[in-house]
C-alpha cells in the first residue's frame, strides 16, 4: 500500500510526540511492505506566528491531497487569551468543519500494568474498555453565539438537527456491533430541548439495530457512573460538549492523559488522528513527554483510514507489551528516577514491533 500522511505537529510537545508516531509508522511500513510518505505543515500557534492564521490555506490544500492527517497538539500560554481575535483552537474547529469530520472516536482502555496510577481502586478498572463516540461538528461549539461575550450578556447555542444526530448515532451503533453490543447515549433531556431531540432521534436509529442494547443516561449521572462502575460501559455516544468533558474525565482510568488517542472521521476514509492531551508547554522541549497517545493515534490511522487492521493491532500490542515490561514515562512512573524520556520509550515500542 502507498499512502500520503500530512503531519501537523503544532505547538508545545506536539512535535515531539508526533515524531515518535512517525517513527512507528515508518517501521510498520518497512516491516509490512507499505510505502508511507509524510508532509509536514503548520497549524496552531506556530501557524499564527508564521502567517497570522491558525490553519493556513496551504495547510488545508496539503490535507486535501492526503489519505490521513496526524496531529500533535495546539496552543500554549503565548496564545491563551480567550478574547483574542485569532486563537490556535480555531484551526482545529475549521479543520473539522472543512472536512466534515463529524465523528470523534476516543477509546479509553485501562491497562492492568498501570492500575496503580489511576485514582480509582484497581478492582474498578478490571475490564474497562470504552469507546467514546462524540459528535464533533455541531452542538454548542458550533452554534450561534455572542462572539466575544462583551458587555453584561453572552450566549452560546446548543443546536442539533435530526440529520446530525442520526449520522453520529449510526457510527456508535455500528461500532457497538463490532464490540460488546451496548450503546449508552448521553444527554440532558430533562432540561434541554436540543437533548430531547437527541434522545428521540437516537431511539429511532436504535430500531435499525435490534442486536444492540441502548440505554439513555443523563450527563450528570453518567459522570458519576463512569467512576463508580466504568466497566459497565461499552460505547458511549455523546454530543460535542458532553463528549469532550466525559472522555477527558475518564482519562484517569488509563492513568494519564498521555495514554489516550483519538480519531476524527467523516463519511469516507479520510481522518485526523491526535492524542487527546494538550500541548503541555511546561514540559515542551525537555524530551520527557509520553508518546503513547500519539503512537496509538497512529494505530487508529492505520485502522480507520488505511484499512490495515492487522498492522494497527501490532502497534497496540507493542505498546501494551512495552508497558507490561515496566517501561514508564514521567507521567506514569512511580519513581521519577526510573522514568524514560520520549525517545527511549519509543525505542522500546519499536523493539517490540521488530
Which residues are catalytically annotated? 141, 188, 220, 244, 248
- Give strand pairing partners of 261: 275
Q: Using CA atoms of 284, 322, 72, 286 in order, give the dihedral in degrees to the nearest 10.
A: 10
CA distance 31 to 28: 5
Say if strands 271-275 and 68-73 run parallel, antiparallel, or are unpaired.
parallel
Sequence-distant (6+) residues with CB within 8 A of 345 are 20, 290, 291, 292, 322, 327, 328, 329
CA distance 80 to 88: 8
Cα separations in angstroms, 74 against 35, 44, 184, 277: 28, 5, 31, 10
Give the cell for residue 231: 466497566
Give the cell for residue 39: 508532509
| Angular region, 127: left φ>0, alpha ψ -120 to 50, beta rest | left
* Strand order from edge to edge, sheet including 68-73: 35-40, 2-10, 68-73, 271-275, 261-265, 103-109, 129-135, 235-238, 182-187, 213-218
The full DSSP string for 313-325 is HHHHHHHHHHHHT
Amino acid at each position: 500500500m502507498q499512502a500520503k500522511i500530512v503531519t501537523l505537529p503544532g505547538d508545545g510537545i506536539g512535535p515531539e510526540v508526533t515524531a515518535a508516531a512517525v517513527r512507528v509508522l515508518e517501521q510498520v511500513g518497512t516491516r509490512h511492505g507499505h510505502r508511507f510518505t509524510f508532509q509536514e505543515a503548520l497549524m496552531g500557534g506556530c501557524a499564527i506566528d508564521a502567517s497570522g492564521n491558525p490553519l493556513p490555506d496551504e495547510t488545508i490544500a496539503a490535507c486535501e491531497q492526503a489519505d490521513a492527517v496526524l496531529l500533535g497538539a495546539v496552543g500554549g500560554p503565548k496564545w491563551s487569551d480567550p478574547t483574542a481575535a485569532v486563537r490556535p483552537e480555531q484551526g482545529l474547529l475549521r479543520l473539522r468543519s472543512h472536512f466534515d469530520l463529524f465523528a470523534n472516536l476516543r477509546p479509553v482502555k485501562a491497562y492492568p500494568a498501570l492500575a496503580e496510577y489511576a485514582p480509582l481502586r484497581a478492582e474498578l478498572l478490571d475490564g474497562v474498555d470504552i469507546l467514546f463516540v462524540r459528535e464533533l461538528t455541531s452542538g454548542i461549539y458550533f452554534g450561534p453565539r455572542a462572539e466575544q461575550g462583551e458587555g453584561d450578556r453572552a450566549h452560546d447555542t446548543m443546536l442539533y438537527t435530526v440529520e446530525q444526530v442520526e449520522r453520529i448515532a449510526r457510527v456508535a451503533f455500528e461500532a457497538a456491533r463490532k464490540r460488546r453490543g451496548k450503546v449508552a447515549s448521553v444527554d440532558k433531556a430533562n432540561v434541554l430541548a436540543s437533548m430531547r431531540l437527541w434522545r428521540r432521534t437516537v431511539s429511532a436509529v436504535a430500531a435499525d439495530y435490534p442486536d444492540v442494547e441502548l440505554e439513555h443516561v443523563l450527563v450528570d449521572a453518567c459522570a458519576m457512573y463512569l467512576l463508580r462502575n466504568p466497566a459497565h460501559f461499552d460505547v458511549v455516544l455523546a454530543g460535542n460538549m458532553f463528549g469532550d468533558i466525559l472522555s477527558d474525565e475518564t482519562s484517569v482510568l488509563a492513568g494519564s492523559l498521555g495514554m489516550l488517542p483519538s480519531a476524527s472521521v467523516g463519511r469516507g476514509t479520510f481522518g485526523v488522528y491526535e492524542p487527546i492531551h494538550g500541548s503541555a508547554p511546561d514540559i515542551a522541549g525537555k524530551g520527557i513527554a509520553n508518546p503513547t497517545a500519539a503512537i496509538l493515534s497512529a494505530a487508529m490511522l492505520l485502522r480507520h483510514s488505511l484499512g490495515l487492521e492487522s498492522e494497527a493491532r501490532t502497534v497496540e500490542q507493542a505498546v501494551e507489551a512495552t508497558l507490561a515490561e515496566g517501561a514508564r514515562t514521567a507521567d506514569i512512573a512511580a519513581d521519577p528516577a526510573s522514568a524514560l524520556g520520549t525517545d527511549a520509550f519509543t525505542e522500546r515500542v519499536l523493539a517490540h514491533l521488530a
